[in-house]
Amino acid sequence: MQEKSSGFKVSNIKNMFPRFLGRIIVVAWVLFTVIVIGWIFIASLSTTKEIFTNKLLHSGLQFKNYIKTFQLYNVGRYFLNSAIYTVTACLGVIFVAAPASYIMAKYVFKGKNIVRLAYASAMGIPGAMIMVPMFMLVGKLHMTESILTLILIYIFTSVPFTIFYLTGFFTTIPNEIQQAALIDGCSHIKAFWKVIFPLAQPGIVTVTMFNFIGIWNEYLWALIFASKAEKRTLAIGLQSIVQSMSVTGDYASLFAGVIIVFLPTFILFIILSNKIMTGITGGSVKG
């Protein structure tokens, strides 16, 4: 404020220049992102020949690239698979982690510190440490072929972060609410599901958003347990399109595939970007 009233001074120019430069870099950075995504979108509607000769869209919109990815490369199937894995696991992890987070937030019991430490450290355990024994265990249980395996694994891998996030959230819900429900004759368990759980919706929505993006984009476990064509997730499916593209050279369809993989989380992000931004910090700033 002071700067404006003091008029045009040398120090202002000195201050203006770095600020101006900073803004140019920010704009250039974002412009690059926009150009890359925009170019790929346009390329996905062109022919491969046009991509190579730098004449994008010359023959009009080639929606056939998209049709091809669905018919030839089975993207529809992968999409459905990803949706099934992600939605089921997102629901499952809330069902498991929300009650536990509530207990962690509100009750004192023997071993509570051990549980807290255990789950804090679980966030640091590399997936590489878990994958071999898990693969053997799943083999012993004859579950390698079941889609339930990957769903369960996604639930398990999401539990530490979900507990971490929701515990912080449940501490903000006043104890009086539970007391009131108990006086009304609810059992403890019923009081949680009927009264407290609905009040935790905002926290549950935020954490589910992160779980959704994380599971939708997951790669390592999908590579191990969903490599068969009919069980592949979109990420693994896209990789198989890349591999077949190195033989066919069908760039246009590849870019169409990229756009299909990109769209769901992109749309989610456009709708929820503010919630995501405040959510990231809600977790890490407190922690």
Q: Show contacts with other proteins in window 55-94 (CB under 8 A).
A: none
Q: Which residue has the tokens 């072929």?
A: 145
Q: How many CB atoms lie within 10 A of CB 203?
A: 22
Is 138 in contact with 149 (CB distance < 8 Å)? yes
105 lies in the binding site for other proteins (CB under 8 A): no
125 lies in the binding site for other proteins (CB under 8 A): yes
Q: Which of 147, 220, 244, 275 binds other proteins (CB under 8 A)?
A: 220
185 lies in the binding site for other proteins (CB under 8 A): no
Q: 240 Cβ partners below 8 Å, 6+ apart?
A: 73, 229, 232
CA–CA gap between residue 275 and residue 277 (Å, rounded): 5
| Binding region for other proteins (CB under 8 A) out of 62-70, 165-173, 200-208, 243-251 | 243-251
Is 226 in contact with 236 (CB distance < 8 Å)? yes
| Binding region for other proteins (CB under 8 A) out of 64-72, 154-162, 169-177, 200-208 | 154-162
Which one, 169 or 216, has the nearer CB to other proteins? 216
Is 166 in contact with 200 (CB distance < 8 Å)? yes
Q: Which of 224, 226, 252, 256 binds other proteins (CB under 8 A)?
A: 224
CA–CA gap between residue 43 and residue 57 (Å, rounded): 8
What b/e sequence results for 240-276 when a residue is b if at least 16 CB atoms lie within 10 Å of its CB, and e otherwise?
bbeeebeeeebbbbbbbbbbbbbebeeeeeeebeeee
Which tokens hold the place of 52? 């190579």
Report in angstroms how near the CB of residue 63 gets to other proteins at its nearest.
Answer: 20
201 lies in the binding site for other proteins (CB under 8 A): no
Q: Which of 97, 200, 204, 252 binds other proteins (CB under 8 A)?
A: 97
CA 287 to chain centre: 20
213 lies in the binding site for other proteins (CB under 8 A): yes
Which one, 147 or 276, has the nearer CB to other proteins? 276
At residue 110, the 3 state secondary structure works out as coil
Which one, 59 or 278, has the nearer CB to other proteins? 278
Site for other proteins in 2-61 (CB under 8 A): 19, 22-23, 25-27, 29-30, 32-37, 39-40, 43, 51-52, 54
Which tokens hold the place of 128? 């590489």
Q: How many residues bind other proteins (CB under 8 A)?
A: 94
| Binding region for other proteins (CB under 8 A) out of 61-69, 168-176, 200-208, 241-249 | 241-249
Site for other proteins in 264-283 (CB under 8 A): 265-266, 268-269, 273-274, 276-278, 280-281
Q: Which of 115, 143, 173, 199 binds other proteins (CB under 8 A)?
A: 115
Report in angstroms how near the CB of residue 213 gets to other proteins at its nearest.
Answer: 5
Which tokens hold the place of 66? 């998209």
